[in-house]
Structure 1
Amino acid sequence: MPEQPPYLRLADELRRRIAEHVWEQGERLPSRAQIGQEFEVGENVVRRAQELLISQGVLEGRAGSGTYVAEPRERVRFVRSSAREQTNGSPFRTDMRAAGKLGDWESRTEAKVPAPADIAARLGITEGELCVRTTYEFLADRKPVQVSTSWEPYDLTAGTLVVLPEGGPHAGAGVVNRMAAIGVTVSHAVEQPEPRQATAEEASLLGIQKAALVTHIRRTYYSEQGRPVETADIVVPAAHCEIVYEIPIHR
């Protein structure tokens, strides 16, 4: 049999030490340089081994702090379903309540942002047309579990009370309810999930290692007339969250 790559051998050794309580839950691991020196491997090998264990939920990265032995942490379940669009609340908060957690989020909105080519294509507009861009960090019991970036065509909501997704009387009501407030009926959404590795920015926001596994969902809401009214990139860490799709059956 071919010999295991060095990072897999190191991952097995780190996993063994954790199982034998050399490092306890919540304890910070030595630096990559220290681990590399002890096991006579380069820091890149240590990084790959740690990223593998983070993706498996054995370790967790904390932005600007280091790598720690993961404490028992139930994976947060996100249910994706048209049946869960609420008329008076957030589906995220509903999911968190079902899990016995406090759901909240932080956001930052920028108006009149030129649409890059890929976003313009998803919204059916011309590249460079103005959009309202909102970035979100979703929290479960104050721990980050999801980040997303939302784009809405500026000409759709300009001059209305819902131009800022997290401002005004309809703040935080969600896309469906906000659009309804200006007479736009959202009929359906299309989602495209795919696994990939986290970017450095995503890893920092989510408290995971760069290149850890995440699920990236490209979601677009459409009006009854078929116009895209919002598109978003939703990113959740695979080690901490699971995505479940609920398919309503209409008889």
Structure 2
Amino acid sequence: MPREAPYLAVADVLRLRILAGEWRIGERLPSRARLAVEYGVGRNVIQRAMDRLIIEGLLEGRAGSGTYVRTPRERLRLVRSRHRERTSREGSLPRQDRRERGRADAWDSHSQVRVPAPGPIAERLAISPGALCVCTQYEFLADGQPVQLSESWEPMAITDGTPIVLPETGPLAGKGVVERMRSIGVVVSTVVEVPRPARATPVQANLLGISAGDLVLQIERTIFDTDGRPVETADMVIPDMRREVVYEFGVDRP
């Protein structure tokens, strides 16, 4: 059988020591160098082990200070589900959504028109680099606290000259990509999401009220119409310490 990765073995031992109370809540752990000597591994192994425990919510890193045992915090659940999005538009939320606390209940947004698409965005939208887009920055709030950031890009070749060119103004303001696109004859059929762990940049940290370098979940989302054409792409940033992202899938019945 394959051996367990060294950082996982170190994480297991550190977890047991933390849960046993060897280090109290708020207490700083020994330095990576000291732990590396104690366990006979490289500092990078210790760092990966600590990163894992940070993800689990047992530790927190403080820039320029070290790694500390974290005060237990409740991570609110964020359910991502095609079924939920469909039913919420109909005004009848599934039972689990009514129990989902901390769900975003407000948002701030700012749109810019005729923004040239950067290379990576152009590739995701299957357009030429520099093609004009509408770029919208979102900050989602729950009980007045920022819980998610999003940067959305829509090709102006699709929406220019229509009432929906700006996502948050006009007759369908705030209705979402699917409904807005349907109003101009564009039918959405597929949503692709790619989640990746990342560290908060200083700008993201400032907006989310967390520390630079804190763990976040980045979700790259692209929405396609029935012809396979991308009609919108977005990058969402969710602070790991506050949100637990859960994907919900329906099962097709015969």
| TM-score, normalised with respect to structure 2 | 0.68
Cα deviations by residue, 1:33-58 (Å, 9 ceiling, x for unpaired) = xx659x699xx989767644321112
The Cα shift of 1:90 comes to: 11
Partner of 2:73: 72
Ranges in structure 2 where 5+ consecutive residues have no aligned partner? 37-42
Match of 1:109 in 2: 111
- Aligned pairs for 1:1-251 (under 5 A) are 16=17, 20=21, 23-24=24-25, 36=31, 51-60=51-60, 69-81=70-82, 84-85=85-86, 86-87=88-89, 97-104=98-105, 105-181=107-183, 183-201=184-202, 204=205, 205-206=207-208, 207=210, 210=213, 212=215, 214=217, 216-238=218-240, 240-249=243-252, 251=254
Any conservation in 2 of the 1:203–1:211 contact (CA below 8 Å)?
Answer: no
Q: Which structure is higher in RCO with an 8 Å CA cutoff and minimum separation 6?
A: 1
Cα distance in 1, alignment partners of residues 92 and 174 from structure 2: 7
Secondary structure, in 3 states, of the residue corresponding to 1:178? helix
Q: Tell me the distance in 2 between the aligned counterparts of 1:233 and 1:187.
A: 18
- 2:110 aligned counterpart, secondary structure: strand
2:117 counterpart letter in structure 1: A
C-alpha separation in 2, matches of 1:184 and 1:75? 37
AA paired with 1:188? Answer: S
Q: Distance in 1 between matches of 2:117 and 2:190?
A: 20
Does the 8 A contact of 2:57 with 2:70 survive in 1? no
Partner Cα distance (1:101, 1:247) in 2: 24
Range that drifts further, 108-117 or 193-202: 193-202
Letter in 1 for 2:244: C
Alpha-carbon distance, 1:22 to partner: 5.8
Give, in whole Å, the separation in 2 of the partners of 1:144 and 1:21.
34
Give the aligned partner of residue 39 of structure 2.
none
Quote the offset at 1:114 in angstroms.
0.6
Percentage identity across paired residues of the two chains = 34
Greater Cα shift, 9-18 or 201-210: 9-18
SS in 2 for 1:125: coil
Identify if the C-alpha distance between structure 1 residues 22 and 191 changes in structure 2 by more than 3 Å, giving closer, same or farther.
same
Alpha-carbon distance, 1:242 to partner:
2.4
SS of the residue corresponding to residue 141 of structure 2 reads strand
Structure 1 residue 172, shift from structure 2 partner: 1.6
CA contact (8 A) 2:78 2:103 kept: no
The structure-2 alpha-carbon separation of the partners of 1:250 and 1:201, relative to structure 1 and needing over 3 Å to count, comes to farther
Equivalent residues of 1:193, 1:217 under 8 A apart = yes
Distance 2:133 2:233 in 1: 11
Q: Which moved more, 1:172-181 or 1:134-143?
A: 134-143
CA distance in 2, matches of 1:99, 1:83: 12
> Conserved in 2, the CA contact under 8 Å of 1:219 and 1:231?
yes
- Give the RMSD, CA atoms, in angstroms: 4.3
Amino acid at match of 2:180: R
Kindly indicate whether the alpha-carbon contact (under 8 Å) linking 1:77 and 1:95 is maintained by their aligned counterparts in 2.
no
Classify 1:83/1:201 alpha carbon distance in 2 versus 1 (closer, same or farther; 3 Å). same
Equivalent-residue separation in structure 1 for 2:97 and 2:23 (angstroms): 34
- Which letter maps to 2:133? C
TM-score by length of 1: 0.69
